[in-house]
Structure 1
Amino acid sequence: MKKIKIIYLLILMPFFGFAQEKINSQEKVNELDDIIITASRKKESIKEVTSSVTIVGEKKIQTQSVVNSNISSILQYTVPSLATSSNQTSNYGQTLRGRPFLVMIDGIPQSTPLRNGGRDVQVIDAASIERIEVIKGGTSIYGNGADGGIINYITKKSRQDKIVSGAVQFGLATQPATFTESLGYRTSVSLNGKQKRFDYVLGFTYDRSGLLKDANSVNIAPNYSLANMNTYNGLIKIGYAISEKQRIEASYIGYASKSFLNQDIKIGEWGVTPSIGIEISDRPGTPEGTPRNHNFRLSYSNSEIWKGTSLNVNAYSQDFRTVFFYDKVQFLNGGQSNVKSNKIGLRANFDSRLISKADYKAEIIYGLDLLQDATVQKLEDGRFWTPQMNMQNTAPFALIKFDALEKFTIKIGARYENIRVKVDDFNTLPILNTKTNTYPQSIFVKGGNLEYNALVWNMGVRYNILPAISIFSSYSQSFSINEIGRILRSATTSVVSKLPTDPIIVENYEVGLAGAPVKWFNYEVASFSSTSKLGASSVQKPDGSYVMQRAPERIWGYEAVVNFKPSAYLSFGGSYAWIEGKVDNDNNFSYEKYINGARIMAPKVTGYIQIQPLKNWDVELSALHNFERDRFDPNATTNKYSFNEGPVPSYTVFNVSNSYIINKHFKTSLGVENLFNKDYSPNIAWWMARNQDFVKSSGRRATLQIQYSF
């Protein structure tokens, strides 16, 4: 106990020093300006965007990372209408405005639409990210999969004129009540610089987590666990300015995670006793995690390829593989599944000025997207759970943008999707029928070719009346092929073409207000709704198998964000989001049943307060309050809730983050997650309504970091 007290004193000491010198200005982390690139595939001010956007700047990312470096956790505190994190390796159920979203890294798609493994959020480390741009609401601007919006991770770029500058960071993280067992560490190195026309960014991060315990110091269940996980992340970005107008850039981003957790699950009782982890000598199967996520990108830009027209071309590839936990029950003789996806793509983007006058401007953004995606889900022993699926996507697009008097913006765009999917012949994998406790016979399914075509539209308007008030409104359509892999693996017919693989087309409507009445206050309020004539939700059949329910859907809601900064030493603010949705199972326009918890999040409020007690000391206290959502009744006979329909209770959790600049080279940070050691379960544990998934969230966890900049 005495040793622990000494450690705490060492942790807290840096925050009570009297350093007089701050880190060099070029190394200080500032919030980025309001220039974004994701909404229209070109740089533009947020005052020209006709829909709701959230930009998570580098300073906010670093502040949140001191508390928890997991990106799912960072996003739940910074994006109002994004569902709360599961605190797991999977982001299943973390929807955006009630629908799946498209994840990208510098415009490279990370989502696996042919078979969604729920691992696309956690495919890069926060240390490599400069900012996160979140476009909320269905959109087709980047193609397939953005029914709920887009999350684009923008990686770091060189900001220095020096040949070499950078930072080295080392951190420890632990849960105080179980200090030794929970101890993990994290280290990262970053370099960047410029030499004449060359510039570069290099980065490497290694994170080794310790055991994760709940508020009562009990092991959290091991399935999809983030405990005892080795994570690696590398970034290489090299740019060359061919001329004042031309630039070429090549980048590589590599990510890998691998569990070394030797625990088995002790299944509890839903709503009563949580499932926990029990120590074993050797966990069966191969290590869970994402063994690889390799992203290569080569881009070329020319600000005037011909008069009045700029060009940006991105060629990319992704090699992704993720491994799930070993399941002794679901698969005959046990098994462990994985998803493998390989993508090759090209995005060509032209921007031509049509009118360029002092008060009026018009331009057309147009181009072509090409994508080839090969995806398969197997068991580690080689058995196919889905067949090999090969998708080719060709999509020309155009967007006309008109600006007047720097106050009025109109956008009208269209995109034509042509998607072809080739499916190999395969035999279905026997999955346990929980009703009969038997494994059904495998059936042969003849493969074939599937083709989808659609013309989708988007239009929007924004009027910046005064600094105090801007009005924006938009209508947009998104197009997504349904998760074909999930449909195929539960096939009951012998021919692929007879399966219900119709695509999902979402019509999204939004209207909002934003503004800054005074310099120290800004706000944004948005109301939205989306409809789809044929939605898709995961439901459980009476035999225990899982299928995609196809029926008309309607989702609606609103969100609000406010920020106050009355002085240089104080800022505070928060957000609120409420979403609801219904499904029309009878196809009679009655929308008689609520959409389940895997899609619709419980309402949530986030808040923060930042203070600067001393010149070099910054403190942020953040909070998340999750409201209850209870929309379904239990079975009258068994008194049990159906899969994904369990009621979600309310809870509130607080975090604190400190950073102290010791001198121009050194900075130290201390963060505490779940500050008051709240005993609660994540939402997914409640709405899934299954014994094995009823788990607890982590208890109080502290992180100490020290950074050396040069």
Structure 2
Amino acid sequence: MKLFSVAVVSLAISASLQAKQNEMETVLVTGSRIVESIDEVPVSVTVISNQDLQQQMKVSPDIQNLLAMYVPGISSGTGTSSNFGQTLRGRAALVMIDGVPQSTPLRNGALGIKTLDPNVIERIEIIQGATSIYGNGAAGGIINYITKKPGGDKAISGNIDLSTRFSAVKLEDSVGGKVAASVYGSVDAFSYVASLSHEENGVLRDADGDALGTQYGLSEGVSKNYFTKLAYEFSTEKNLAITYNYYESQQDSDWVDVVGNISKGEKTYAIYDPSGKPPTAEPQGPRGNHNLQLKYQDNAVFKNTQLAIDAYMQKIENVFFYSTRLGNPDLGVDGGQSMIRSEKKGLRATFNSYFDFDQVELNLIYGLDALNDVTSQPLVDGRMWVPEMDMGNLAGFIQSKWIIADDYILKAGIRQEDINISVDDYDTLKLCTSPTVCSTPMSVAGGDIDFEATTYNIGFRYNAFDAFNPYLSYSEGADVPDIGVLLRSATVNDISLIQTEAAIVKNYEVGFVSNIEQWRLEFTAYRSESDLGSRSVLNPDTGIYITQRAPQKVWGYEGVVNYRVDDTLNFAATFGYVEGKHTESDLYIGGRQIGAPKATFVANWRPTEQAALSVSYLHVEDRERFERNDEGNFTGDEGNVKGYDVVNLSGSYDFGDVSIFAGVENLFNQDYFPARAQALTYTAFNVKGIGTTVNLGVKVAF
């Protein structure tokens, strides 16, 4: 009934609004699902421009490192194909491509960040802090990849990029290459852009020249991306666009791991040994990520009211690494590989209406969202680890923005979620860490899991003085837990007895933005609370980690400093600190959620109109919160982190239609374990960071 009431109010308002439409600055779209100025948003926002994106991609194609460099709330990169252990303000982020969700929150395999090739990204928008504006999965915020726009001055234009990447420490087997091509143009009311890329990695090596471990590895991986966006403008008010993106990235390598122990400072590295590769092992990584979106916009559907309708589909199969923990001696199986199989279909209708009163501008955003998400986690050998979860989600929302006397900005909104998840009867897997230590399989009766959640947000910002624009906000997000993990580790015979309740994550934030001549300063302090967080606990009898639900609190602060000396030289720096505790036990949250403190620095210099140089620096600070066990080892995700520093360098020269570039990752060949490798003590996660690696390329425009 709550959902019906919100929907009726939304549709009634759309039929009755009479107001003058205001043209708004095109800076940000993610936060409120409309185009609005970044200076009218009372929360912490980061927009990574195409220029910044291209500059960092000259160093490395790793989009995780890019995000960590520019977004203070994102923990440092993992150096792998997985974002397991990389969070946004200590919680999971909802990753999207043009608003289409890529994350799989029903069975969160932490593989959402690498879901497309950076070559097709126009910019990246990040909203930090819990939000429900796009639904489930955004407990830490939103990462939205905005893809390239169609169109151009001519009927056909384009560019071709060729590059190679190799280890400067040990060249052998490390040479890889990439080719990417794009075409774009406009013909009358029709516009288009199309792109394809093919990348093959060589063996990635650490500072000692040893091959990096293969678990979630990128060595000898092959990635392909096909992207197209077509648009037709019926009139100045009405347009239609269709976007399709296909991405796959799989590692099929004959290198096998020599496993170390992070508690002893021993790294996991790889050696070439085709005979040591399990005969049943399949390539790991996304077999194919399909995204299809149809979007219609009418800027005058009613008087002074805009309408956006988009229908979308996303389908993916992500294959994990081979693990002996998925063995079962009773079946004669030594191990196995799981994969997350997910298919989403959605429809969204968003209205945007404007009022213009005396000294007051009112903007209302309202509509309906419908989503069907079917997710499971089978093994590639046919066994079922997580049964199929069929989720239907219907939500109504309304968001208001009041601009009073030009300088006072008030935002408030409400969203009502109705969620149903259907699960058939299933049997849990018998998993064995040794021939004699196994879990006990359970026959579990399925059924329906129903959630209703009403979430609110309110924020205020004061923009009278450029030198000090303060803001404060309160926002909530409905966070459905990782149902798949809870189902696969069930110790009861009915899903109604499993603690699957959704949590409401409450986020409090206060901050300011200052623009003083060439300086731009941003500072934010925040706190988020949830009554049902998740914690992985080792069962000593089976050697299997199980999930416990308990209250959590997370807090921290962030800062960004930008200084533009002139048109040729600018600097940017960020810092981020996050901490968290399990509220009832007063124990610190582990490194899977809470990253070590970090700071970054980027300097961009254009000595001539054709030449450009960039230096980037990452500093990760110590985080020592945990004690060793009686055997002298850290356990689970409770490893201590020792700080480290990494410097990157890149440069380019533009000859006109042809430009060349070079980038060096880890310029000084720092020998270090990334923060995730230190914090997570699970087998084979303890892989060193990449050693000095060179990226060279040329770009030809036509």
The TM-score range, normalised by the shorter chain, is over 0.9
Asked if the contact 2:467–2:515 (Cα under 8 Å) also holds between the matched residues in 1, the reply is: yes
Which residue number corresponds to residue 250 of structure 2? 258
Which residue number corresponds to residue 327 of structure 1? 323
Deviations 1:665-685 (A, max 9, x none): 001110000000000011111
Mapping 1:176-187, distance limit 5 Å: 176-187=168-179
CA distance in 2, matches of 1:140, 1:241: 31
Asked if the contact 2:622–2:642 (Cα under 8 Å) also holds between the matched residues in 1, the reply is: yes
Which residue number corresponds to residue 649 of structure 2? 656
Which residue number corresponds to residue 140 of structure 2? 148
Which residue number corresponds to residue 286 of structure 2? 290
Asked if the contact 1:186–1:205 (Cα under 8 Å) also holds between the matched residues in 2, the reply is: yes
Match of 2:692 among 700, 704, 709: 700
CA distance in 2, matches of 1:189, 1:102: 29
Which residue number corresponds to residue 562 of structure 1? 561
Which amino acid letter does the alignment assign opposite residue 568 of structure 1? D
Which amino acid letter does the alignment assign opposite residue 303 of structure 2? K
Q: By how many angstroms is 1:53 displaced?
A: 0.2
Asked if the contact 2:326–2:337 (Cα under 8 Å) also holds between the matched residues in 1, the reply is: no
CA distance in 2, matches of 1:203, 1:366: 34
- The answer as to 2:251 corresponding to 1:242 is no
CA distance in 2, matches of 1:55, 1:574: 14
Mapping 1:156-195, distance limit 5 Å: 156-195=148-187
Q: 1:348 to 1:660 in 2, by over 3 A?
A: same
Q: Secondary structure at the match of 2:463?
A: strand
Deviations 1:547-582 (A, max 9, x none): 222111111110000011112221112001111111
Deviations 1:666-707 (A, max 9, x none): 011100000000000111111112453221111000000100
CA distance in 2, matches of 1:596, 1:306: 51
Match of 2:634 among 620, 641, 664: 641
Mapping 1:341-420, distance limit 5 Å: 341-353=342-354, 355-357=355-357, 359-420=359-420
- The answer as to 2:479 corresponding to 1:480 is yes
CA distance in 2, matches of 1:292, 1:153: 18
- The answer as to 2:215 corresponding to 1:223 is yes
Asked if the contact 1:161–1:195 (Cα under 8 Å) also holds between the matched residues in 2, the reply is: no
CA distance in 2, matches of 1:708, 1:544: 55
Asked if the contact 2:151–2:191 (Cα under 8 Å) also holds between the matched residues in 1, the reply is: no
Task: Could you tell me which runs of 5 or more consecutive residues in structure 2 were left unpaired when the two chains were aligned.
Answer: 1-24
Which residue number corresponds to residue 540 of structure 1? 538
Asked if the contact 1:235–1:253 (Cα under 8 Å) also holds between the matched residues in 2, the reply is: yes
Which amino acid letter does the alignment assign opposite residue 337 of structure 1? S
Match of 2:128 among 129, 136, 142: 136
Bigger mean CA offset, 118-127 vs 577-586:
577-586
Which amino acid letter does the alignment assign opposite residue 162 of structure 2? F
CA distance in 1, matches of 2:686, 2:103: 27
- The answer as to 2:426 corresponding to 1:432 is no
Q: By how many angstroms is 1:34 displaced?
A: 6.5
- The answer as to 2:497 corresponding to 1:498 is yes
| RMSD of Structure 2 on Structure 1 (CA) | 1.3
CA distance in 2, matches of 1:177, 1:515: 44
Which amino acid letter does the alignment assign opposite residue 372 of structure 1? N
Deviations 1:334-365 (A, max 9, x none): 11111100000011100122x21474211211
Q: 1:42 to 1:268 in 2, by over 3 A?
A: same
Q: Secondary structure at the match of 1:63?
A: helix
Asked if the contact 1:215–1:700 (Cα under 8 Å) also holds between the matched residues in 2, the reply is: yes
CA distance in 1, matches of 2:683, 2:444: 33
Asked if the contact 1:539–1:644 (Cα under 8 Å) also holds between the matched residues in 2, the reply is: no
Which residue number corresponds to residue 62 of structure 2? 70
Asked if the contact 2:169–2:207 (Cα under 8 Å) also holds between the matched residues in 1, the reply is: no
Which residue number corresponds to residue 198 of structure 1? 190
Mapping 1:265-284, distance limit 5 Å: 265-270=257-262, 271-281=264-274, 283-284=277-278
Match of 1:301 among 297, 320, 344: 297
Find runs of 4+ consecutive structure 1 residues off by over 6 angstroms.
none
Identity %: 38
Deviations 1:480-527 (A, max 9, x none): 111000000001111111111011210000011102111x21111001
Match of 1:611 among 598, 601, 605: 605
Deviations 1:23-66 (A, max 9, x none): xxxxxxxxxx8710001110000111110000000011111111
- The answer as to 2:451 corresponding to 1:455 is no
Which residue number corresponds to residue 571 of structure 1? 570
Asked if the contact 2:324–2:433 (Cα under 8 Å) also holds between the matched residues in 1, the reply is: no
Instruction: Calculate the TM-score normalised by the size of structure 1.
Output: 0.92
Which amino acid letter does the alignment assign opposite residue 529 of structure 1? R
Which residue number corresponds to residue 521 of structure 1? 519
Count, aligned residues: 668
CA distance in 2, matches of 1:317, 1:329: 34
CA distance in 1, matches of 2:185, 2:214: 42
Q: By how many angstroms is 1:431 displaced?
A: 1.6
Which amino acid letter does the alignment assign opposite residue 323 of structure 1? V
Deviations 1:164-221 (A, max 9, x none): 1111000000012322410000110011111110011101111111001110001111
Asked if the contact 2:227–2:245 (Cα under 8 Å) also holds between the matched residues in 1, the reply is: yes
Which amino acid letter does the alignment assign opposite residue 661 of structure 1? D
Task: Could you tell me which runs of 5 or more consecutive residues in structure 1 were left unpaired when the two chains were aligned.
Answer: 1-32, 587-591
Q: By how many angstroms is 1:432 displaced?
A: 2.1
Instruction: Calculate the TM-score normalised by the size of structure 2.
Output: 0.93
Q: Secondary structure at the match of 1:552?
A: strand
Deviations 1:453-506 (A, max 9, x none): 010001111111212221111100000111000000001111111111011210
CA distance in 1, matches of 2:222, 2:369: 35
Which amino acid letter does the alignment assign opposite residue 609 of structure 1? A
Q: 1:313 to 1:523 in 2, by over 3 A?
A: same
Asked if the contact 2:162–2:180 (Cα under 8 Å) also holds between the matched residues in 1, the reply is: yes
CA distance in 2, matches of 1:429, 1:585: 31
Which amino acid letter does the alignment assign opposite residue 457 of structure 2? N
Q: Secondary structure at the match of 2:260?
A: coil
Q: Secondary structure at the match of 1:686?
A: helix
Asked if the contact 1:252–1:296 (Cα under 8 Å) also holds between the matched residues in 2, the reply is: yes
